[in-house]
Structure 1
Amino acid sequence: MSLASLLTDAIGIWKPRASSDVASRFPDVADAPPDTRRLIRNRRYCCVLTNKDDLPFDDVSLSFAWQALQHDMAMVPGGDVQQVCDSIIATNAGFEIVPSPNRVVSVDSIYLDRDCVTNADFARFVESDGYGNPDLWPAVILPNVLQFSDSSGQPGPKYWVNGDPPSDKLDHPVVGISWYEASAFATWAGKRLPSSAEWQRAGTWPKGHSSDGTELHFPWGNGFDPAKANVWSSGVGDTVAVTEFERGRTPNGVRQLVGNVWEWVDTQFEPSTGDGVSVLLDQTMAEIRGGAFDTYFQTQATCQFHTGQPLLFRGANVGFRCCVSASEIPDVDRGVIRSSEAV
């Protein structure tokens, strides 16, 4: 179930024909129109491409925005995902959450951020008065937005000071943000949070499935490697820059889906009793995915494992990344075609 909706056959791959280094550098937008230049430099290029506000962006603006998307995001083609469902059973020691048989979920193609949103990224949202813009927040949480403050009482993530992120962690994933803050940032950027199934699809293709028909556990295969993900056994003990642990990236360049920080997704965490009866929790929870720097058990840092946190949780080990549906992105470059071949 989509949390966004609670509160308020795959399309083809887009194949770039341009040179292979196009996505390796962020575009120089000096020649773009002023409004477009400002949006793209703030990493809000999806506001140009999706044009949800019906603003008149010209072809030059669309071209620059497309180049920015290629740099920051990766295509994840649609397909089937084998999701594990949690059940709560009674044991001698009390109640225990156990995985139930997989269910197959189909997802459409998306563009997904290659990296988690960083402190530097989130600072642009804060500087643009994102906390003061009611259009970015569900009505149910508006009276409480002022409570989303940093350690000095200024609007911002929990561990910032005086509205500023740690100067030595600008390229680390932003943490200390609730699900609502993550969702508000995504809306501001013209994107959204991925669903749990979309997130899982990003980590399990195009390696396919293992010999027994199940999905691979990690973006690189079934064997865990502490050199490929920042978890407890890696020995770091804190977040790292979003570009580190490069060897653990997906084949299309999505980094740190496993490890570094858990990631908020737009799916409600809903365990059941295993016989179709849902468990009523004392508050609404969202799923988090991927494990973090302090995740001890390797089984909790797989592409399949999911758990949940309350929507207002602002932990030091939870961040997020954004996505946009591929169907929302127009053909803005003659070097881009839409394939009819399913993946």
Structure 2
Amino acid sequence: MSLMEFAEKLGVSDRIVSRWEGDGESASLRMVNQAALDTLLAKADKDTQGRFVGILALDDVPTHAIIEPDGSETTSGEYVKHPGDGKLMAHVPEGIFLSGEDDEPVWVDDFHIDTFPTTNADYARFCAATRHPAPEHWENGRCPRALYDHPVVHVTWHDAHAYAIWAGKSLPTAEQWEKAARGTAGRAFPWGDQKTAAKCNVRETGVERTTSVSRYHSGVSPYGVYDMVGNVWEWLATVTVPGRYELRGSAFTSPLFRGTPAIPNDASSTMHDDDTGFRCIATSEQMQPRGR
């Protein structure tokens, strides 16, 4: 599109778009304009989405298209469907990354991580297959259809661990989760160092509830992973003290600064709340079809 066509598509003046281009990474967008851009990106074709993520990636790590494969397709860039639960996973290669608030170099072996948090629809399949108790907020044990693509909540660490075992996966360690969120070069947030609440579902965004796990395209991590900041806190495999496990990522109930991937949090393994969920990882062995 020309500048004027793009501005018309967004419903803003061409002067505003020119100013954004001139300001570059320091551009400050109104939340309604950021939402319009996110919507346009979601409707764009695969090539456009792939180029967009490639432009955003500042680290020397792989970048990928940011959409799920169609029908018979099984991969999209570095995305692969897991043979257990069928969820789309992103590959994180082995190597050193800068970890923690002091950016200490840490080695992590390669693994795959769920592109999106575990959704209500994912968890419903698990409950149906195992007769595991449904989350308490599902009416009559059934998730409302409108929340199918929202992250599952009101799950304890034990619930999350049970799902991971059923799927043939694991919960991520703190190091695995942080690398998937930050990349290798110590960026503060998945998208870079800018404190931009409009790129995720946190308190400042004003949504005040969970959202679809694929909503925030501009907040994707260097490896193409969504919702690593905001929406829901995520249970990890890392123990802090007996009976307590790490959580990372912040939620719609928390301010942006709590979502900084390098900052740990923890909770009792029996805790469950409306802002806490999880996602899984898989080692190379766990990526193989069962029975091999």
Both structures adopt the same fold (TM-score exceeding 0.5): yes
Aligned to 1:188: 166
Relative to structure 1, the CA distance from residue 14 to residue 46 in structure 2 (aligned partners, 3 Å threshold; closer, same or farther) is: farther
* Structure 1 residue 159: Cα displacement: 1.5
Contact preservation (8 Å) 2:164, 2:171: yes
Identity fraction in percent:
33
Aligned to 1:27: 72
Q: Encode CA deviations 1:86-144: one digit per residue, 9 max, x unaligned.
A: xxxxxxxxxxxxx7x5654321111111000100110001111242xxxxxxxxxxxxx
2:243 pairs with 1:242:
no
**Letter of the structure 2 residue corresponding to residue 80 of structure 1:** I
Separation in structure 2 between the aligned mates of residue 218 and residue 175 of structure 1, nearest angstrom: 23
Separation in structure 2 between the aligned mates of residue 218 and residue 290 of structure 1, nearest angstrom: 10
Separation in structure 2 between the aligned mates of residue 243 and residue 15 of structure 1, nearest angstrom: 17
Alignment of 1:1-343 (within 5 A): 24-27=69-72, 45-46=83-84, 72-84=88-100, 103-131=104-132, 155-205=133-183, 208-209=184-185, 215-270=186-241, 284-296=243-255, 298-329=256-287
SS of 2:124 mapped into structure 1: helix
**Letter of the structure 2 residue corresponding to residue 25 of structure 1:** D
* Structure 1 residue 324: Cα displacement: 0.3
**Letter of the structure 1 residue corresponding to residue 229 of structure 2:** V
Bigger share in helix: 2
Relative to structure 1, the CA distance from residue 15 to residue 327 in structure 2 (aligned partners, 3 Å threshold; closer, same or farther) is: farther
Contact preservation (8 Å) 2:94, 2:110: yes
**Letter of the structure 1 residue corresponding to residue 155 of structure 2:** I
Separation in structure 2 between the aligned mates of residue 120 and residue 23 of structure 1, nearest angstrom: 16
Contact preservation (8 Å) 2:83, 2:287: no
Relative to structure 1, the CA distance from residue 177 to residue 26 in structure 2 (aligned partners, 3 Å threshold; closer, same or farther) is: farther
* Structure 1 residue 156: Cα displacement: 1.1
Contact preservation (8 Å) 1:81, 1:201: yes
* Structure 1 residue 180: Cα displacement: 0.7
Aligned residue pair count: 223
SS of 1:268 mapped into structure 2: strand
Relative to structure 1, the CA distance from residue 198 to residue 229 in structure 2 (aligned partners, 3 Å threshold; closer, same or farther) is: same
* Structure 1 residue 44: Cα displacement: 6.4
Q: Encode CA deviations 1:222-245: one digit per residue, 9 max, x unaligned.
A: 111111110000110110010111
Relative to structure 1, the CA distance from residue 189 to residue 221 in structure 2 (aligned partners, 3 Å threshold; closer, same or farther) is: same
Contact preservation (8 Å) 1:130, 1:188: no
Separation in structure 2 between the aligned mates of residue 192 and residue 200 of structure 1, nearest angstrom: 15
Structure 2 length-normalised TM: 0.69
Contact preservation (8 Å) 2:66, 2:224: no
Q: Encode CA deviations 1:272-324: one digit per residue, 9 max, x unaligned.
A: xxxxxxxxxxx61100000000112x321111011001001111111111110
Relative to structure 1, the CA distance from residue 27 to residue 294 in structure 2 (aligned partners, 3 Å threshold; closer, same or farther) is: same
For structure 1, list consecutive stretches of 5 or more residues without a partner in the other structure: 1-12, 30-42, 48-67, 85-98, 132-154, 210-214, 271-282, 332-343
Taking CA–CA contacts closer than 8 Å with sequence separation of 6 or more, which of the two structures ends up with the larger relative contact order?
1
SS of 2:84 mapped into structure 1: helix
Separation in structure 2 between the aligned mates of residue 28 and residue 82 of structure 1, nearest angstrom: 34
Q: Encode CA deviations 1:45-86: one digit per residue, 9 max, x unaligned.
A: 138xxxxxxxxxxxxxxxxxxxx56xx1110112224443xx
* Structure 1 residue 167: Cα displacement: 2.5
Structure 1 length-normalised TM: 0.59
* Structure 1 residue 28: Cα displacement: 7.4
Contact preservation (8 Å) 2:199, 2:216: yes
Q: Encode CA deviations 1:179-202: one digit per residue, 9 max, x unaligned.
A: 011011111111111111000010
Separation in structure 1 between the aligned mates of residue 215 and residue 172 of structure 2, nearest angstrom: 22
* Structure 1 residue 250: Cα displacement: 1.7
SS of 1:185 mapped into structure 2: helix
Contact preservation (8 Å) 2:83, 2:288: no
SS of 1:24 mapped into structure 2: coil
Separation in structure 2 between the aligned mates of residue 14 and residue 293 of structure 1, nearest angstrom: 29
Q: Encode CA deviations 1:190-225: one digit per residue, 9 max, x unaligned.
A: 1111111000010122xx42xxxxx11111111111
